[in-house]
Amino acid sequence: MSAKLFQFLDLPRQPPRTVPVAVRVLGYGEIGGDFASPQAASQAERCIDCGNPYCEHACPVHNYIPNWLKLVQQGRIMEAATLMHETNPLPEICGRVCPQDRLCEGACTLEQTAFGAVTIGSIERWVTDEALRQGWRPDLSKVIETGYRVAIIGAGPAGLACADRLRREGIAADVYDRQHEIGGLLTFGIPPFKLDKGVVRTRREVLEGMGVRFLLGKEVGRDVEFGALLEEYDAIFVGTGAYTFVDGQLPGRELQGVHDALPFLIANTERLLRDEPTSVFDFHGKHVVVLGGGDTGMDCNRTAIRLGAASVTCVYRRDEASMPGSAREVNYSREEGVTFMFHRQPVAILDNGKGHVRGVRVVETQLVDSGDGRPRPQNVPGTESDIPADVVIQSFGFLPSPPNWLHAHGVELAPSGKVITGAQGRLPQQTSHPKIFAGGDNVRGADLVVRAVYDGREAGSGIASMLAGVSAKAVAVG
């Protein structure tokens, strides 16, 4: 057995260094450092090639992780990037925003020991960045154009992944989006300190080089009739996301100083994209309370710090182990000065008597068995207390907001608003209308970027299979 299988004994897990806290909170640059080539190779050598790659199984797109780690060890960066793209059309983005601690790295065999997981996410990011810097592009030289055309509605991760797969099958992909930039929440919802927007722009260049056409600033249903698209194109993929925030129905939510997470994050990111130095959110010297424990809540925490808040307190109704967000993002929030209050359920936002928020009333909770495997928080009577606040940000999650034109054209929706796909007898991500496919948050509800990528990838393959079947029938009839 090769001695390299035991590299983990002598070489500790060592992620890239992050920007020091005192520096990173002064701006919005990415805080994650990068590997040097030798460090990436040595960290990849920590993989023990365990034979049953739990990392691969835990990855929603089922990346060939041990295989491309071996290529990195050998210095074959271009080949590693090509292999990554076989399963993941957006590896440089997932390498940055995936909660690897809950997915591939959490399932790594070494993570179950004192040695710590292989730094899979950081290596994925480094490989893709380095390969793109060196000129890597997908090889479509053997692709035969089919003449088929597909409209993609929504330039978020699901739509981008679908476009990638369609072009690899020789199918034209036109991507419509109401925004002036591609990416959806990758661009407008995720703050730049997690995902630099230049990364998304580079991916746009790659996709356009593959022949993807972006029609931006065009909202389907307003600027373009959906029915016209249905007639013009051979199939349609709908990746419209989940933008309807969950309303906690808290008394006082209408007060000045209360913000909903997504509009807050989008407005701040759009300001940064316009290179405007001053934010409309004046948090300097103010006490901010963020309600919610997901990744969006962590984004709000860390954005409020950068907006000059005197303090940021994050309130979550369960314990830390139950938080739906990445443990890495929770740690970053703590490092940057955020205080966490667990086992607290907000019950009201308090008025200062002048129509402005002055605090949040919370009640302590205890977790009780619900019978479904996840304990539920139960309020403890008589434990109410008030948290002073000048600003409150509500981050309770998001729901799909399916456009009216979907239902009007016979697409079946769940009572929650989710688009129903993949029923028995249908292709992957196919809706009740045979020409319409869907994926991402409009099918799952608010979920991980990598799962949206998976849906888009599978939809692209499903559309290609459908259109290939149409071609086969045409040949048979001919």
CA distance 452 to 61: 10
Is the whole-model pTM more than 0.75?
yes
Q: In the prediction, which pLDDT does 434 show?
A: 96
Coil vs helix vs strand at 414: coil
pLDDT in tens, 65-78: 999 999 999 999 99
pLDDT in tens, 185-222: 999 999 999 999 999 999 999 999 999 999 999 999 99
Q: In the prediction, which pLDDT does 44 show?
A: 95
- First CA to last CA distance, the chain: 59
Q: In the prediction, which pLDDT does 471 show?
A: 61
Angle between helix axes 157-168 and 449-477 (nearest 10 degrees) is 30
Residue 153 in contact with residue 237, Cβ under 8 Å?
A: yes
| Other CB atoms within 10 A of residue 407 CB | 13
Tokens for 248?
């906690």
| Range of 42-46, 322-326, 400-404 with top mean pLDDT | 42-46
Please give the helix or strand (H or E) that residue 175 lies within, else none: strand 172-177
H and E: helices and strands count for the chain: 19, 16
What is the mean predicted confidence (pLDDT) over 50-73?
A: 96
Tokens for 164?
């990638």
Catalogue all structural domains in the chain, each as residue range(s) with its CATH number.
3-133 (1.10.1060.10), 149-242+400-477 (3.50.50.60), 245-397 (3.50.50.60)
Q: In the prediction, which pLDDT does 2 show?
A: 45
61: which DSSP letter? T
Residue 400 in contact with residue 415, Cβ under 8 Å?
A: no
Helices (H), 134-235: 157-168, 185-188, 197-209, 226-232
Task: Identify the residue with better confidence: 35 or 450.
Answer: 450
Nearest to 83 by CA among 70, 96, 98, 100: 70
Q: In the prediction, which pLDDT does 371 show?
A: 79
Backbone φ, ψ for residue 436 (5° rounding): -110, 125
| Range of 230-234, 370-374, 420-424 with top mean pLDDT | 230-234
CA distance 132 to 129: 5
Confidence label for 477 from pLDDT (cuts 50, 70 and 90): very low
Beta strands 344-351 and 357-368 are antiparallel
Backbone φ, ψ for residue 447 (5° rounding): -150, -170
Q: Count CA atoms closer than 13 A to 87's CA, side-chain side.
A: 18
Residue 275 CB partners (closer than 8 Å, separation 6+) = none
Backbone φ, ψ for residue 213 (5° rounding): -110, 125
Query: pLDDT at residue 474 above 90?
Result: no
Coil vs helix vs strand at 365: strand
Tokens for 87?
């399963």
Query: What mean pLDDT is reported for the chain?
Result: 94
Q: Count CA atoms closer than 13 A to 124's CA, side-chain side.
A: 28
